[in-house]
Structure 1
Amino acid sequence: SFLCATMGVAWMLTSALSACVAINVESAGSHSAFTCEPVTLRMCHGLAYNTTFMPNLLNHYDQQTAALAMEPFHPMVNLECSSDLRPFLCALYAPVCTEYGRVTLPCRRLCQRARSDCYKLMDIFGVSWPEEMTCSRFPDCDETYPRAVDLLPNAGGTGRPPPSVQRDYGFWCPRELKMDPELGYSFLGVRDCSPPCPNMYFSRHELALARYIIGGVSIICLAATLFTFLTFLIDVGRFRYPERPIVFYAVCYMMVALVFFLGFLLGERVACNAAAPGSFRAATVTQGSHNKACTLLFMTLYFFTMAGGAWWVVLTVTWFLAAVAKWGSEAIEKKALLFHAAAWGVPGALTVALLALNKVEGDGVSGVCFAGVHDVAALRWFLLAPLALAVGVGVALLLAGIAALNRVRMEIPLEKENQDKLVKFMIRIGVFSVLYLVPLLTVIGCYLYEQSYRPVWELTWVQDWCQQYHIPCPFQVERLSRPSLALFVLKYLMMLVVGVPSVFWVGSKKTCFEWASFFHGHRRKE
């Protein structure tokens, strides 16, 4: 009768304990996948550790699932059939999360003692020893390994630490970087996660220096391209085809420079999600189109960057038609609508595609929003591929046009004045093209280097920060590498400098006379 009463009390305790476990787990909120988290299982409270990770060794995804799987053992634990049973169960269902990238297995002797001590009581309650807990599956530890609560390596015992199974767990998103699932964020292939802001590689001092450099060069580019555009407005008839695309090219890079200047003024306010005050959440990189200011900066910057490359291609097409096909200005101008449709339409389609794919990303270095900042696929297909295609087509048409002009100069006798004009025109084309292509090729080179080394940089960052974020460290790291700030600064500077050559085309005595006449006419009106 005493045994029956004891069993009845045990079952009551089991039910109460199960309810408490369920309440505890539910109050802990949704499981934060692949991060160290507090142990919420009542059975495992009071041991030498208080954090665990999921999925556990038995592939239970969260602690609620583990709690349900542990329910049959509650009577045995409550009746204390063995002092080894509770530590053994917790080592399996709520493994310790202290050694990053390592799973500590319980000793075989611990399993054997727990099973032998509780086997008869389990038989009374009709509970069988699960197959996944077969003791032969666990490593044979030293006899002197501490029993009971000493589960942590070297936690007060004199024996050897338990054997460990080491493997690469991949990237686990720290809870500081977890995002709302509805936002569609992603970082290092993990959903609902975002990179730290302002930047995961550089210090705030380095970022401040980079922003001042980018801001200064953006002002220079803005002034040069604005001067080109205003010169066109003073005398529209001066810029006819095949030179007219230079004006639209200047407008594109004027907008690019304006966005970078706004990024300098805004700092981190648009590119970053601010850290929640009084919360463990850190500042993270803005992603997607939920931030309207970030989306607007992205649309403007990406569209006009791609449009600038498109107008460069149109410029080489018009030169090719003039030099090789011998088209006059009027004939080329009749195709202007087609040129505008291609030069504005293709960048517009690419911009819409990126918005549809939710590939907008904040850039903590420059303060703007762009594509391919952290997403290598977007960098490869929406930046490298279009820019490389524009350069390839443009250079081919440019060389064909220059060869044709040179053939005209050599084969057809011209008056000295016309000969000099043709030579000057060829020199201007050559110089302008070099001033455009060198910065653009540098940008492409930086992107190629970045997309090649970014996986190594990211792995190095995880290695550097895994312990601070309490996530598993990489198991085997063959190579470590960190990016240079100079590479990023050079990339942004060349993205801006590529617009400066437009001022070279209008830099002449005729431009000076036009501006002098413009100001003189205004004074006379006053």
Structure 2
Amino acid sequence: ISLAFGGRMVGLLGVLVSMLASCVAIHMEGAGSHSMFTCEAITIRMCQGLTYNSTFMPNLLNHYDQQTAALAMEPFHPMVNLQCSADLRPFLCALYAPVCTEYGRVTLPCRRLCQRARRDCYKLMDIFGVSWPEEMECNRFPDCDDPYPRPVDLLSTSLSTEESPMSVQRDYGFWCPRELKVEPELGYSFLGVRDCSPPCPNMFFRRDELLFARYFIGVVSIVCLSATLFTFLTFLIDVARFRYPERPIIFYAVCYMMVSLVYFLGFLLDDRVACNAASPGRFRAATITQGSHNKACTLLFMALYFFTMAGSVWWVVLTITWFLAAVPKWGSEAIEKKALLFHVAAWGVPGTLTITLMAMNKVEGDGISGVCFVGLYDLHALWWFLLAPLCVNVLVGVVLLLAGIAALNRVRMEIPLEKENQDKLVKFMIRIGVFSVLYLAPLLTVIGCYLYEQSSRPVWETTWVTEHCRDYHIPCPFQVLQSSRPDLTLFLLKYLMLLVVGIPSVFWVGSKKTCFEWASFFHGHRRKE
């Protein structure tokens, strides 16, 4: 509050006396304009639409411009918006933006107007942690005729003298604490309130829990990065070995190699990208980064979301190629002719979704992993841009996979094959089945975690507001029917499965042939040396 009112101000009485003296002198001289002040149109939003539209600066509290006066009035915005008293807004404006007549006469707020505004609103001010400033003590104002009629007390039946923030008989909804407010041009929102952002690094977990989670994600990302990088390098050693229908596994591995790399970068960067730095001098705490104004956060989001979606699409492409090889009996050359279409779908769809999310400003910092992603706080974005595409890909891929396996099994049962060929077909079916299980089990677990998080997050957020409303000096929720906090294990499982889903590519390339190729590669490299 001391910041909002510009620190320790000069006594109001002395200011009023000097201003009245100036105005009396001006009036006696018959001047048509102020010698010290100039009338100007009111630009303070709270004071627009009153019975007057011009004011002067400095005002009665010695604010030298309307921007400073508006900043000083900011703590009273919740009380005015909640209409605790119809006298509060006229009183504040009479003080912060006093009427300025063409002859320079100053109209002071009356004592009774001040007393009624303070009496009606002091309980609600206590909820928001706002105290009545010394400069606004009612006995400092003249005892004059009240120009305003006695209003109806909108909250007199709702608040009693003994009530605390927890016992208010009215739900005021979520009010953004001043510590979490951000500049309007950023377009942030938190719990449905604009120009507000969640606290960082995370609103639900302690520092020691977040530290453990950060190292856990870092270790798992290194394991996944090593596995997918090994798959990709194996492909580079012998490109001709991986032809269609199994070629999509390589692109699938590349996608999850990039995903694990982004999470590893998040581990290294700590909170520097996912969080906005605190501004102690302006009562602002560290908040979650949102939107595309942070370039590093945007780059991490683009890479993580694009390659996550692309990896999922490449698995669908893999099931399509298996289906084409099993049902219509397409050969490798025939499938490879459709490679351009596969690439357009696998890179084009994720690219379109990524650009759409950036245009909609749906980028959000992840205080747990240190990266930026989508759907961490915006549940609508979580459903439409993450869960829905993943569910569609899983459904399409499973249907094609089952159809291909059924066709291969029918070939094995109906067409007599040599024992060697039949054994190869059985091994191929087993590899397809094991690879698919190793991919689908983690992915379905991730989808399950997201669904549980989506359904539970409103309760978690209400619990968080209930536990921190007194600390932030905001209204507490009324009649909390259910209280629950998230378990860190759920989030650790989600990140584990997000990264483990890329490891099955090692299963496909893991064979004696791969060992021989690597041995030949290192042997040939030594011979060259």
Q: Is the 8 A contact 2:84 2:124 kept in 1?
A: no
Q: Which amino acid aligns with 2:286?
A: A
Q: 2:390 aligns with which of 382, 387, 390?
A: 387
Q: Is the 8 A contact 1:373 1:379 kept in 2?
A: yes
Counterparts in 2 of 1:99 and 1:413: CA distance versus 1, 3 Å: same
Aligned partner of residue 199 in structure 1, secondary structure: coil
Q: How far, CA to CA, are the matches of 2:461 and 2:256 in structure 1?
A: 31
1:356 is matched with: 359
Query: In the alignment, does 2:60 pair up with 1:20?
Result: yes
Counterparts in 2 of 1:139 and 1:520: CA distance versus 1, 3 Å: closer
Q: Which runs of 5+ in 2 are unaligned?
A: 1-16, 25-54, 100-105, 131-142
Q: 1:133 aligns with which of 146, 151, 171?
A: 151
Q: 1:272 aligns with which of 271, 275, 280?
A: 275
Q: How far, CA to CA, are the matches of 1:277 and 1:100 in structure 2?
A: 19
1:68-217 alignment runs, 5 A limit: 74=108, 76-77=110-111, 86-92=114-120, 96-99=124-127, 122=145, 129-130=148-149, 133=151, 153=161, 166-217=169-220
Counterparts in 2 of 1:32 and 1:350: CA distance versus 1, 3 Å: farther
Q: Is the 8 A contact 1:56 1:94 kept in 2?
A: no
Q: How far, CA to CA, are the matches of 1:57 and 1:28 in structure 2?
A: 24
Identity, % of aligned pairs? 68
Q: 1:292 aligns with which of 275, 295, 301?
A: 295
Note the aligned Cα RMSD (angstroms). 3.4
Q: Is the 8 A contact 1:52 1:97 kept in 2?
A: yes
Stretch of structure 1 that moved more, 305-314 or 57-66: 57-66
Deviation of 1:93 (Å) = 6.9
- Normalising to structure 1: TM-score of the pair? 0.80
1:319-468 alignment runs, 5 A limit: 319-468=322-471
1:57 is matched with: 84
Q: Is the 8 A contact 2:278 2:285 kept in 1?
A: yes
Counterparts in 2 of 1:24 and 1:232: CA distance versus 1, 3 Å: same
Q: Which amino acid aligns with 2:418?
A: E
1:279-317 deviation line (CA, Å, top 9, x unaligned):
421001111111111110000000000000000000000
Counterparts in 2 of 1:408 and 1:417: CA distance versus 1, 3 Å: same
Q: How far, CA to CA, are the matches of 2:110 and 2:297 in structure 1?
A: 58
Counterparts in 2 of 1:96 and 1:140: CA distance versus 1, 3 Å: closer
- Normalising to structure 2: TM-score of the pair? 0.80
Counterparts in 2 of 1:237 and 1:395: CA distance versus 1, 3 Å: same
Q: How far, CA to CA, are the matches of 2:91 and 2:64 in structure 1?
A: 10
Deviation of 1:25 (Å) = 8.9
Counterparts in 2 of 1:409 and 1:186: CA distance versus 1, 3 Å: same
Deviation of 1:475 (Å) = 1.4
Q: How far, CA to CA, are the matches of 1:316 and 1:227 in structure 2?
A: 23
Deviation of 1:390 (Å) = 0.5
Query: In the alignment, does 2:499 pair up with 1:471?
Result: no
Q: How far, CA to CA, are the matches of 2:109 and 2:349 in structure 1?
A: 70
Q: How far, CA to CA, are the matches of 2:341 and 2:69 in structure 1?
A: 57
1:5 is matched with: none
Aligned partner of residue 60 in structure 2, secondary structure: helix
Q: Is the 8 A contact 1:186 1:192 kept in 2?
A: yes
Q: How far, CA to CA, are the matches of 1:367 and 1:128 in structure 2?
A: 57
Aligned partner of residue 278 in structure 2, secondary structure: coil
Counterparts in 2 of 1:75 and 1:361: CA distance versus 1, 3 Å: closer
Counterparts in 2 of 1:412 and 1:176: CA distance versus 1, 3 Å: same
Counterparts in 2 of 1:425 and 1:454: CA distance versus 1, 3 Å: same
Counterparts in 2 of 1:85 and 1:264: CA distance versus 1, 3 Å: closer
Q: Which amino acid aligns with 1:286?
A: T
Q: How far, CA to CA, are the matches of 2:388 and 2:155 in structure 1?
A: 53
Q: Which amino acid aligns with 2:118?
A: C
Deviation of 1:274 (Å) = 1.0
Q: Is the 8 A contact 1:198 1:285 kept in 2?
A: yes
Q: How far, CA to CA, are the matches of 2:265 and 2:387 in structure 1?
A: 25
Q: Is the 8 A contact 1:271 1:285 kept in 2?
A: yes
Q: How far, CA to CA, are the matches of 1:211 and 1:365 in structure 2?
A: 6
1:501 is matched with: 504
Q: Is the 8 A contact 1:350 1:382 kept in 2?
A: yes
Aligned partner of residue 20 in structure 1, secondary structure: coil
Aligned partner of residue 126 in structure 2, secondary structure: coil
Q: 1:486 aligns with which of 483, 486, 489?
A: 489
Q: Is the 8 A contact 1:101 1:168 kept in 2?
A: no
Q: Is the 8 A contact 1:273 1:284 kept in 2?
A: yes
Q: How far, CA to CA, are the matches of 2:279 and 2:457 in structure 1?
A: 29
Q: How far, CA to CA, are the matches of 1:336 and 1:355 in structure 2?
A: 29
Counterparts in 2 of 1:518 and 1:489: CA distance versus 1, 3 Å: same
Q: Is the 8 A contact 2:267 2:370 kept in 1?
A: yes
Q: How far, CA to CA, are the matches of 2:435 and 2:324 in structure 1?
A: 18
